[in-house]
A and B are shown apart, each in its own frame.
Chain A
Amino acid sequence: MKATLADPKILKSSIDAISNMIDEAGVIVSQEGIALRAMDPAHVALVDFKLEKEAFEEYDVNETLTLGIDLDRLNTILKRAGSSDRIELSTSDDGGSLRITIRNSATRRFDLPLIDVGEEELRVPQLEFPAKVEIDPKILSEGIKDAEIFSDHVTLRCDAENLYISARGDLGNVEVKVSREEAVSFEVSEPCRSMFSIEYLKDMIKAGDIATTVRINLGNDIPVKLDFLAPGVSLSFLLAPRVESE
């Protein structure tokens, strides 16, 4: 296999967002592109990541491979790539490593040994979301940082007119309101709310710079699904809710 990215940002930001939650995963490389689907060890978050072959400048894959990757290490390596560098992914000659070649004024070659991961494919729970709101990822990111001032969890709530990002704590409360006009798209069939851990959301929102919008799929005390969509890329996170204490 050989796949070259002219713009490393998408891969860098996606792996940065994923690797803090998930230590290792099987990355499926096929003729269609590169895909990763995994849950964190506590089964609180699920990531579904696809980088289609169209996203690559050059994509030469003839068979389907599952590569067991230490995502933490991969993230450390990708962080070494600058924004104008080209990243080439291939397997090492003996097939035991993922080879990451960073090209700019010099050629830097990293071999990351592959690890043993299960081959069974993870299904994604099918959920019905009464609210689907698309906003600028920066609004979500800022809202979460606002909420963090007072709490380690945040409530996401929708009614017919607005999306609310709010938090309550012993030291104060905060509410961020995004009206349907301020949203990129806004579909809410019934009011709903769920509460989530900020720790996880902060990791997920690191993927914000790969897309111009994030779609928030919300329901009542069910997981939230965040979709970051850009041409050739789809990165979705599913996050289980917290139990709201009385």
Chain B
Amino acid sequence: MGVQLGDLVAAREISFDELAGKRIAIDAFNTLYQFLSIIRQPTGEPLRDSQGRVTSHLSGILYRNANLIEFGVLPVYVFDGEPPKLKSKVIKERNQLREQAKREWERALKEERYEEAWSKAVQSAKLTDAMLSDAKRLLTLLGIPYVEAPAEGEAQAAYMAKRGDVFAAGSQDYDSLLFGSPRLVRNLTISGKRKLPRKKAYVDVKPEIITLDEVLRSLGVSREQLIDIAILIGTDYNPGGVEGIGPKKAYALIKEHGSAERALEAKGIEVDFDVTEIRELFLNHKTTDDYKLEWHPPDKEGVVAFLCGERDFSRERVEKALEKMEKALKVTRAQRSLDSWFK
């Protein structure tokens, strides 16, 4: 979910060629939810193995990473740790929404309203502990590093980008910018043809990059003020934000009054959240230095045993993806591209 900053920040389309050779810290939860939502059958049913276990997330991890690595991108996945206490309200709301969507999905299926079924199924996607451990097991077998964040994954990704260990954070949400990531790449793992919600149409999704400096410069605000704008709109720590204040109004208020506290005071608005506490969560979030960024060729036998042996994936397709990855990875780190010789 995250902060609705899309109207305020300008993204630039970026080609995979420009991302070749670059390390990107990808928000694992965000990406796995994307996979669970998108990788579904027309009835909304996720992919499952013969024992009924969901495999959509594993399919996404294998094929999307094979694509990324083939383009020369080096992904590292960042998993959420303990969520901040302030997030419990949002987590509870989301769980309720999922439960409700699940009931509506089942009803729509029974009544053969398949388009609605699909969109309800997407909203009901739930990431379980079993799926998370599946995901980590597959990443390890694929030779792709992952990091366990002590708290929010987005904050950890931002920290790694700030230190220069990775080029950018990768997520659909804008929160990593608030956490201070100098760059955010969106649409990284969902590029290509993507179904439009509630429609039978498809759009071509391309990766885009957002640079924190450019955002701050074009808005003429500091990072603290960008956070304050987000707080007025609503973040995961104060869902809904201030009633009646959307992105444009929030921006105007911060421009006029300088901070969220002064804006609220000037407007005489009482809120039930602590602005300072939330701002502090974005400015000084708990992160760790305990990570090692190394990419290894995939353990082909291990992946085949897991995905084909245990989860009924097609051996031919899995092997093809693994070969693609192995070959690309071998060249990525030391291999130059011909682009430098095109004048």
Stretch among B216-224, B282-290, B332-340 lining the A interface: B332-340
Question: Whose C-beta in chain B lies nearest to the C-beta of A126?
Answer: B343
Q: With A197-B330, A197-B331 as given contacts, are A42 and B71 in contact (CB-CB < 8 Å)?
A: yes
Q: What sequence of 0s and 1s flags, for each residue 206-246 of chain A, a beta carbon within 8 Å of any chain B beta carbon? A: 00000000000000001100000000000000101111010
Across chains A and B, the number of contacting residue pairs, with CB separation under 8 Å, is 60
Question: Whose C-beta in chain A lies nearest to the C-beta of B71?
Answer: A41
B328 at the A/B interface (Cβ < 8 Å)? yes
Q: What sequence of 0s and 1s flags, for each residue 11-33 of chain B, a beta carbon within 8 Å of any chain A beta carbon? A: 00000110010000000000000
Q: With A42-B70, A42-B71 as given contacts, are A199 and B327 in contact (CB-CB < 8 Å)?
A: yes
- A222 contacts B335, CB within 8 Å? no
B72 at the A/B interface (Cβ < 8 Å)? yes
Contact of B334 among A42, A123, A125, A243 (CB under 8 A): A243
Q: With A125-B341, A125-B343, A199-B330 as given contacts, are A243 and B336 in contact (CB-CB < 8 Å)?
A: yes
- A42 contacts B331, CB within 8 Å? yes
A161 at the A/B interface (Cβ < 8 Å)? no
Contact of A39 among B16, B330, B338 (CB under 8 A): B338
A184 at the A/B interface (Cβ < 8 Å)? no
The docked-state distance in angstroms from the alpha carbon of A228 to that of B78 is 47
Interface residues on B, range: 20 to 34
Of listed A43, A127, A238, A242, residue having the most chain B CB within 10 A:
A43
- B70 contacts A238, CB within 8 Å? no
A34 at the A/B interface (Cβ < 8 Å)? no
Q: Please list 27 pairs of residues, one from A and one from B, whose beta carbons are closer than 8 Å in the complex, sorted by A's number.
A: A39-B338, A41-B16, A41-B70, A42-B20, A42-B328, A42-B331, A42-B335, A43-B337, A44-B335, A46-B338, A123-B342, A125-B338, A125-B342, A125-B343, A126-B343, A127-B341, A199-B330, A199-B331, A200-B331, A222-B341, A238-B338, A240-B336, A240-B338, A240-B341, A242-B331, A243-B334, A243-B335
